[in-house]
Amino acid sequence: MNGINLFKIALRALINNKMRTFLTALGIIIGVASVIIMLAIGQGSKKSIQSQIAEMGSNMIMIHPGADMRGGVRLDASSMETLKLTDYEKIVNETKYVSATSPECSSSGQFIYGNNNYPASIEGVNQDYLSIRQLKVESGSIFTQQDIKTSTKVCVIGKTIVTNLFPNGEDPIGKNIRFNKIPFRIIGVLKAKGYNSMGDDQDKVVLAPYTTVMKRILAQTYLSSIYCSAITENLTDKAMAEISSILRSDHRLKASDSDDFNVRSQEELSTMMSSTTDLMTILLACVAGISLVVGGIGIMNIMYVSVTERTKEIGLRMSVGARGSDILSQFLIEAILISLVGGLIGVMFGISGSYVVNWLAKWPIYIQPWSVILSFGVCTITGVFFGWYPAKKAANMDPIEAIRYE
C-alpha cells in the first residue's frame, strides 16, 4: 500500500473523530504555546538587561575601596580610605587602555528650592563621568575644569530632580537650590534615561565638581570610588589588569598582600545577569515542557483507545492483504498528524500569546526562531515516540483474532 493511500486513510480516521482529535491535539497546542511564551519572556528579560547595562556603559570599570581587618573586626568597604586623588591621577597619566577616568564621592541629603524639597544624593565627579556613564546634557552645560579647580558650587541635575523641585515647569537653569544649607547654582539638566534593570531611577541624580563635594560637603581627602572607561569593550580585561597593577604599586603592596581595592566591570555584571536569566529561562522552559509530555501521553492514550475500537477494521484490512508495516504506518501517520497540526496551532498561539503578555503585562519579550523550531521539533518527536507503541500493537495483531474481537 503506497504512502498516499495510507495518508488518506489516516486523515479520514481523524476527521471522523473530530472532537477526540481536537482534545488530543489540545495538549500539544498548550505545550508548544507555553514553551514559546516562556522562552520569549526569558530571552526578552535577558535582552532588556543587556541593553540597559550597555546604556550604563558596557566598557565601564568601577574601582571601590576594599574591606579590611582591624583588631579582628572586618570593616565595611565604604568606610575605608584607600582611594586617594593620587590614585586617580596615576590612572589618568599611566594607563594605555583607559579612555576616560572620573573620581567619585557622594553624599545624601535633602535638596530644597522654595517650598519644594526632595531627598537625593549629590555626586562629586568630573566631566569624563558623563561619557563613562553615557549621560548627556539636554540643556545648559556641564561644569568646567576651572569650576573643579576653584571648587565652585555649581551642579547639573536629572529630570527627576527637575520634576520634584520645579513642578510648575519653570526653567531650572540659573536657579539656586540648597543641599543641607549649602547653595548650588544649576548650570545644566541631563537628558532623561529612566529606570535601569536594578529598578534604580537614573534621573534621580545631581552632579557637581568632585572638589566641591569633597571640600565643602564631606570635608574629606579620599575618594569613595573611581570610574573608568576602557577604550573598547574588548580591552576591558587589559584595562582592569593595568589599573590593578598601578594601584598595587601606588599603595606599595607586597606580592603576598591582598588588594585593598576592588576593580569590577560592567561585563562581569552583564555575564552574571545573563547566567541568571538563562537559568530562569531553562527552568521556565522545563516547566512548560512538562505540558508537552502530558500532551504526548494523551496521544498515546487516545491511540490505544483507537486501536481497541478499530480492532475489527484492522483484522479485515490484514485479511485482505494489508501488511503489519501498513497498519504500523497508518497509526503512526495519525499520531504524527495530530502532533503536526497541534504544533502549528501551538506556534501561532505561542507567538500571539507572547505579544499579548507584552501588551498586557508590559514584560519585554524576544521570540527567537530557534525556540519556535525547537518547540515544533519536540512536538513532532513526541508524536512519533508516543504513537509508535500503540501502532506497533496494532501491527502485531492476529487477523483472525482481530476479526473475532467483540
Report how many domains make up the chain: 2
Mean pLDDT along residues 30-53? 81
Kindly state whether residues 298 and 255 are assigned to the same domain: no
- What is the phi/psi pair of residue 136, to 5°? -130, 140
Mean pLDDT along residues 306-333? 77
202, 228, 259: which is the final residue of a domain? 259
Instruction: Look at 21 and 400; give whichever has higher pLDDT.
Output: 21
CB 137 within 8 A of CB 187: no
Residue 339 lies in a domain: yes
Query: What residues make up the domain containing 99?
Result: 81-259
Kindly state whether residues 184 and 110 are assigned to the same domain: yes
Mean pLDDT along residues 299-327? 76
Residue 266 lies in a domain: no
CA atoms of 391 and 250, how far apart (whole Å):
77
Percent of the chain surpassing pLDDT 70? 90
Greatest mean pLDDT among 48-52, 324-328, 359-363, 383-387 lies in: 359-363
Residue 253 lies in a domain: yes
Q: What is the pLDDT confidence band of residue 162, given thresholds at 50, 70 and 90?
A: very high
Q: For position 140, what pLDDT does the model report? A: 93
Lowest-pLDDT choice from 82-86, 188-192, 372-376: 372-376
Kindly state whether residues 151 and 112 are assigned to the same domain: yes
CA atoms of 227 and 207, how far apart (whole Å):
14
Question: What's the burial of 74, exposed, middle or buried (CB within 10 Å: 0-12/13-18/19+)?
Answer: exposed
Residue 388 lies in a domain: yes
Instruction: Look at 297 and 140; give whichever has higher pLDDT.
Output: 140
Quick one: cell of 43?
Answer: 530571552
Q: What is the pLDDT confidence band of residue 73, given thresholds at 50, 70 and 90?
A: very low
* Assessment of whether the complete model's pTM goes beyond 0.75: no
Burial 365-376 (b: 16+ CB within 10 A, else e): bbbeeebbebbb
Q: For position 72, what pLDDT does the model report? A: 47
Kindly state whether residues 277 and 347 are assigned to the same domain: yes
Kindly state whether residues 116 and 217 are assigned to the same domain: yes
Kindly state whether residues 31 and 156 are assigned to the same domain: no
Kindly state whether residues 283 and 178 are assigned to the same domain: no
Mean pLDDT along residues 149-164? 95
Residue 92 lies in a domain: yes
Q: Is the per-residue pLDDT at 269 higher than 80? A: no
259, 288, 319: which is the final residue of a domain? 259
| pLDDT tens figures, 286-309 | 877 777 777 777 777 777 777 777
Residue 44 lies in a domain: yes
Kindly state whether residues 305 and 397 are assigned to the same domain: yes
DSSP for 127-152, please give it.
THHHHHTT--EEEE-PPPHHHHHTT-
Q: For position 223, what pLDDT does the model report? A: 92
Kindly state whether residues 210 and 297 are assigned to the same domain: no
Q: For position 280, what pLDDT does the model report? A: 78
Q: For position 311, what pLDDT does the model report? A: 74
205, 225, 259: which is the final residue of a domain? 259
Residue 70 lies in a domain: no
Amino acid letter, residue 162 = V
Percent of the chain surpassing pLDDT 90? 35
Kindly state whether residues 244 and 304 are assigned to the same domain: no
**Closest alpha carbon to 65 in 200, 251, 336:** 251
Kindly state whether residues 195 and 317 are assigned to the same domain: no
Residue 172 lies in a domain: yes
Q: How many CB atoms lie within 10 A of CB 348?
A: 14
Cα angle at 66 between 254 and 228, to 5 degrees?
95
Kindly state whether residues 235 and 302 are assigned to the same domain: no
